[in-house]
Amino acid sequence: MKLRRDSKIDLLRSVPLFAECSQKELGRIAAIADELYQPEGTRLIEEGKKGREFFVLVDGTVDVRRNGRKLRTMGNGDFFGEIALITDSPRSATVTATSPVRVLVITSQAFQRLLADTATLQPKVLAALAERAARTLP
């Protein structure tokens, strides 16, 4: 069953990157988020490759691996690939579906256009990314 706009907004609100966004801003983000279904075994992100998408896991599970070593399993509501929305850095891990999955996908190109068109959104997203990066530094 396809997600309604309100359900997309609720999922996006739970993502720390968008936590400070207004209802209107979340609605604009939801409008550029595509819903996709992928079968078990699909590699959604490949370590070392350029990132072009951000994912929010609606249903299903994925494994996250770095250098072939399993780091964690993610499930409903988890997200990955957010750095790709802002930077052109290579992916730091491989993410593979371990069950059929349904994901919301936001491309970096669409998100960059949205940032350019929505002046209030950019500082909120950049502050959230900076906070996340600071927490991961040694």
CATH number of the domain enclosing 30: 2.60.120.10
Per-residue pLDDT, averaged over 115-121, amounts to 88
66 belongs to a structural domain: yes
107 belongs to a structural domain: yes
For the cut 70, the answer to whether the pLDDT of residue 137 exceeds it is no
Per-residue pLDDT, averaged over 19-46, amounts to 94
Q: How confident is the model at residue 123 (pLDDT cuts 50, 70, 90)?
A: confident
Q: Which domain holds residue 54?
A: 5-124
Q: Where are the beta strands (DSSP E) in 7-136?
A: 34-38, 43-45, 53-59, 62-66, 69-74, 79-80, 94-97, 101-107
Whether 100 contacts 18, CB under 8 Å: no
129 belongs to a structural domain: no
pLDDT of residue 66: 94
For the cut 80, the answer to whether the pLDDT of residue 33 exceeds it is yes
23 belongs to a structural domain: yes
Higher-pLDDT residue of 69, 125: 69
Q: What is the Cβ-side half-sphere exposure of residue 49, based on CA atoms within 13 angstroms?
A: 11
For the cut 90, the answer to whether the pLDDT of residue 128 exceeds it is no
45 belongs to a structural domain: yes
134 belongs to a structural domain: no
131 belongs to a structural domain: no
101 belongs to a structural domain: yes
Dihedral sign (CA 89, 93, 96, 101): negative
Whether 109 contacts 53, CB under 8 Å: no
Domains in the chain: how many in total?
A: 1
Q: Find the range with the poorest average confidence among 3-7, 80-84, 98-102, 134-138.
A: 134-138
How does pLDDT run across 42-91, given as a tens digit for each residue?
999 999 998 889 999 999 999 999 999 999 999 998 989 887 777 778 89
Match 């595509």 to its residue by tokens.
34
